Structure formats: C-alpha cells, structure tokens
Amino acid sequence: MPTRRFVTAGLCTLAATALAPRLTARPVARPATRPRRLREGDTVGLVAPAGFIADRFGVEAILESIRAVGLVPRPAAHLAAREGYLAGDDKTRAAEFQSMFEDPSVAAVMSVRGGWGSARILPYLDFARIARNPKLFSGFSDNTALHMALAARCGFPTLHGPNASGSWHAGSWEAFRALAFDGATPTISVPVDPLVALDRGADRLRTFRGGKARGRLLGGNLTVLAALVGTPYLPDFAGAILFLEDTNESEYRIDRMLTQLALAGILGKVAGVVFGQCSNCVERQAGYGNFTVYQVMDRAFGPLGVPAFQGLSFGHVAGQACMPEGVLAEIDADAGTVRLLEPVVA
C-alpha cells in the first residue's frame, strides 16, 4: 500500500426526441483485450494532450503526487511547453501521447489536465498501433475526446477519472485504486444522507425515469462529446449506458447539446442515461429567464423510455468518482446506482 495519500488540495423537447432518428446499430462490442492492472512500482506516462502546466513547479507537484501512491512518473517533455493555450503544437502532443502507448516500459497513461485541445490531436494518432498496446488511460473533462476515440477505434476500456494535476480527494484515490489496481467491480451510488431532505441545496438523487438497464458505459463531458458528433471518433452508442457531466454551462447550452445528441440519433439508441454533476450550470445574466438544468434533463431524458437519473459524484467536483469506459454495467435509476459487472483491467 502507498505510504501517503492524495488530499483535497431552448429545451430538448418531446417533439425533438420523438423526431430524432432511432437508428438500428450493432451494440458496443465486448472488449477483446483489457489493460493490465497496475502494481506498485509501475511507470505511468504523464501527457498533456490539451492545456499546459504553468511552470516547472506545477510539474514537480504532479510528479510528487504520483510517487506518493507508489507509482513511477514519466513526464512527457512538453507538459510545461506552451503554444497559446496548448501544451505545444498538435503533432508534438499527439506524438507524445502515441509514444507512451508504444513504450513497453510504461504501464499506464494519465493526462495531467484538460482545458481544450485533445480533439485536435486525433487525426495524428495511429489507433491501430495503440490498439496493439492496450494500456489503462485515465483523465476527464477535455480528455473525453480521447476516451471516445479509443472506444471507437481501439475497443479497450479506459477510465474517466481525475487528471494527475487535480486535487485528489481521498475518495477519488480509493476509487481509482479499487478499479485500476485491484480490478474491483464496485457499485457506484448517489451519496445517501438521512438529512438531505432538510437541505434543499444538497446533492440528491433525481430520477427522470425509473427502472434498471444493462449496457456498456460510454460518455464523459457533454460539451466535448457533442462537439464530436459527425466525426469518425464517436463509438456506437446502441445499447450503451450514456454517462454525462459538465461545468460552467448555462441551462440553454445544456439544452442545446442534449438536443444535438437527440437529433443525431444518439439518445434514441442508448439503454440508459446517467448524468453526474453539472457544476455551476446556471445562467448569471441579470433578468434572464430559465428552466432549471434539472428541468432540461427531465424533458430530454424522460421521453426516451429508458432508465435515467442524475446525482452521482463524477465530473468537475472534489472527490469525484471514477467511471469506467466500455465495461458492462447495470444501472438502477430508482436507487441511483451503477453496478459494474466486469473489471476495467485484467
């Protein structure tokens, strides 16, 4: 066991959903290969596929954190490089991501941060070669573009979890360790607090449509996922459990992106929907009339006829849960749970 832990440092209408194409497509295939589980002393490649780390002190802090959990960090050369808001040019960032998968001494790959730019490197990646070297990839937010592309082109599971530069809450580390080191298949639940009924501002379960469903977990950041619609970097969502999160988006923007997924036929294909946290998703313009973000979700997901709920602690929140990509799971929208039916790692 590690000797030290990280510390916390217009609305999608029924008509739009009904008119969206409900395409018949092959369900997400069972992954033929899984990344191997991590062991203490393994080398982890640290990459910056989007934004940069501000200075060498930020890089040093990340390296210290990785060492603290018993892993050996191998930073890409350009974590603190800068080209505008990016950690170097697109081809350089792509080459560093690619090289970490092809390096046999690297056991897993972790993104140091999000921002914007991961989608820009997708055309420069050789997915056939990455598929021959399946490794656990972890990151969230803008890294959704990479999770989706790896699911579409490579087929091995990945982990939508904290970025290496984040303030890892103890709960986040414990969840990561259970999935990545132990190969556990836990049940991820909406936190239950007996006093939640007395606190209207508390996180709570919101069930848009009850029931249970099974499928492969696929998703991530709504903004990034919606921006990939129409590209060759989205997997087939037929029969999948779609999970989503977002931050700092007005209600009408969430509405617009969910409408896009509906009109593109994605929402009409899924077996269930789980929305984690939508942090600060409130329009702050004075005098601006809005539906609440939960009304937006209710109107988007309720008419789908599949189990759907909101409230799990994944997304841009402290202590975020890790959500596996591409593994079979069962959701219970009435209980607010996601039960993993198979491990992420071998």
Q: What is the pLDDT of residues 209-243, one digit of tens each?
A: 999 999 999 999 999 999 999 999 999 999 999 99
Six token digits for residue 155: 């087929």
pLDDT tier at 193, thresholds 50, 70, 90: low
Counting Cβ atoms within 10 Å, is residue 235 exposed (0-12), middle (13-18) or buried (19+)? buried
In tens, the pLDDT along 62-93 reads 999 999 999 999 999 988 899 999 999 999 99
pLDDT tier at 29, thresholds 50, 70, 90: very low
Six token digits for residue 91: 């081809």
pLDDT for the residue numbered 172: 86
CATH architecture of 43-180: 3-Layer(aba) Sandwich (3.40)
Mean pLDDT across 319-323: 91
> Choosing from 65, 111, 118, 141, which is the catalytic residue?
141
> Choosing from 65, 111, 147, 245, which is the catalytic residue?
245
Q: What percent of the chain has pLDDT over 90?
A: 77
Mean pLDDT across 126-138: 97
> Choosing from 96, 316, 325, 330, which is the catalytic residue?
316
Residue 41: closest CA among 66, 72, 75: 72
pLDDT for the residue numbered 12: 37
pLDDT for the residue numbered 168: 76
How far is Cα 88 from Cα 205, in angstroms, rounded to an integer? 41
Edge-first strand order for the sheet with 212-221 is 187-189, 337-340, 328-332, 212-221, 241-247, 272-279, 308-310, 206-209
As separate numbers, helices (DSSP H) first and strands (DSSP E) second, the chain gives: 9, 14
The Cα diameter of the chain in Å comes to 57
pLDDT for the residue numbered 160: 97
pLDDT for the residue numbered 17: 39
Q: What's the distance, CA 274 to chain centroid?
A: 12
Cβ count near 148 (within 10 Å): 26
Task: State which amino acid sits at residue 318.
Answer: A
Which single residue is written with the structure tokens 């929305």? 275
Look up 141 and say whether it is catalytic.
yes
Look up 316 and say whether it is catalytic.
yes
Question: Average pLDDT of the chain?
Answer: 89
Q: What's the distance, CA 297 to chain centroid?
A: 18
Listed by start position, the domains of the chain span 43-180, 186-340
In tens, the pLDDT along 251-280 reads 999 999 999 999 999 999 999 999 999 999
pLDDT for the residue numbered 15: 35
In tens, the pLDDT along 88-118 reads 999 999 999 999 999 999 999 999 999 999 9
Residue 179 CB contacts under 8 Å (≥ 6 apart), including other chains: 159, 161, 186, 322, 324, 343, 344, 345
Q: What's the distance, CA 254 to chain centroid?
A: 17
Cβ count near 199 (within 10 Å): 10
pLDDT tier at 195, thresholds 50, 70, 90: low
Tell me if 43-180 shares its fold with 186-340: no
pLDDT for the residue numbered 335: 97
CATH domain 186-340 topology = Glucose Oxidase; domain 1 (3.50.30)
pLDDT tier at 285, thresholds 50, 70, 90: confident
Strand partners, 279: 247
pLDDT for the residue numbered 5: 36
pLDDT(201) > 70: no
Angle at 261 between CA 259 and CA 263, to 5 degrees: 65
pTM for the full model?
A: 0.89
Secondary structure E strands in 79-154: 108-111, 136-139
Does an H or E element contain 215, and which? strand 212-221
Counting Cβ atoms within 10 Å, is residue 272 exposed (0-12), middle (13-18) or buried (19+)? buried
pLDDT tier at 150, thresholds 50, 70, 90: very high
Residue 91's region, left for phi above 0, alpha for psi from -120 to 50, else beta, is: alpha
